[in-house]
Amino acid sequence: MKITSSKPPYGVYTPLVTFFHEDESIDFAAVESHVRRMAKAGVAGLVLQGSNGEAPHLDHEERQEMITRTRLTLDSLGYEQIKLIVGCGAPSVRETLRYVAEAKAAGADFALVLPPAYWAPAMTAAVVESFFSAVAEASELPFLIYNFPTVASGIDISSDAIVRLGKEHPGTIVGCKLTCGNLGKLQRIWSSLPEDSFAAFAGKSDFMLPGLVGGSNGVIAALANVVPKVHVQLLNLWSEGKLEEGRKLQTKLSNADGALQKVGVAGVKAVVSYFFGYGSGKARRPLGTTSVQTLSEEILGPIAEVVELGKVAV
């Protein structure tokens, strides 16, 4: 299927967490409160059903309802311009394409696709590259390649492969999210593909500013669930050429992100609930539940510092 699409707009993207009730059903009221806070903070888009959204724990119907409700919430608040990138990765081409079709029908703008990782020993570089080509040939949405070895059996997609795929499928493969943290890879991809049609994203707050220097199209970062305004502020400082101020703010984000990475997905939700009054630290088993009361000051302190910054960020 031939798609001609522009890349996702430049900006901050929040990989949205999914809140659950105690019985593990989705807490849509909390999700909608979260979407509202993200939109008001000035994000360019939301990433649904990524690793932070517990994608493997959601069934097809839940995924569709999450997309539909998120789109309706944004539109009802006048934020029609905010884009939705939806995780659609699966072990097979067939299942991935089903997720893509369902995401499109529910209101997604872009898909985000992990490499297949179940049969890890069989997933050679050539097999992984052929997987993305096969998805691109039939996808109903433009999509980003998601490189996150931690959740993909250690599979790390090379810059050469991403560049080849971007050149072979322009308008369909329109970007990548690099949670791997390889800034050299980001730089190589940015310099090898047209910046106006391919978006390479740094995938963590920890290296947001270095990523921007290397050509990142903004950032997709878990910490944006907590302090979206601070990420927007750093983006603005970079755009205005205020590098020294940006470095100081990046240090605070790196410290907070380092702390947040220690608490897992449930911990991200617990932190959001503690500081902003909605949702809880409940995840679907086997991830369990986290409470802020169990977190040390070493973890909570750096996060609290950027939360205070977010109250005054413009």
The set of catalytic residues is 177
Q: Which residues contact 172 (CB under 8 A, 6 or more apart)?
A: 1, 2, 3, 5, 136, 139, 142, 143
CA-closest candidate to residue 103, choices 135, 57, 71: 71
Q: Are 257 and 223 within 8 A, CB to CB?
A: yes
C-alpha pair distances (Å), 180 with each of 108, 155, 306: 25, 10, 24
Q: Which residues contact 65 (CB under 8 A, 6 or more apart)?
A: 26, 28, 106
DSSP state of 283: -
Strand partners, 143: 111, 173
- The long-range contacts involving 205-208, CB below 8 angstroms and separated by at least 24 positions, are 205/231, 205/253, 205/254, 205/256, 205/257, 206/181, 206/253, 206/254, 206/257, 206/258, 206/261, 207/181, 207/183, 207/254, 208/234, 208/250, 208/253
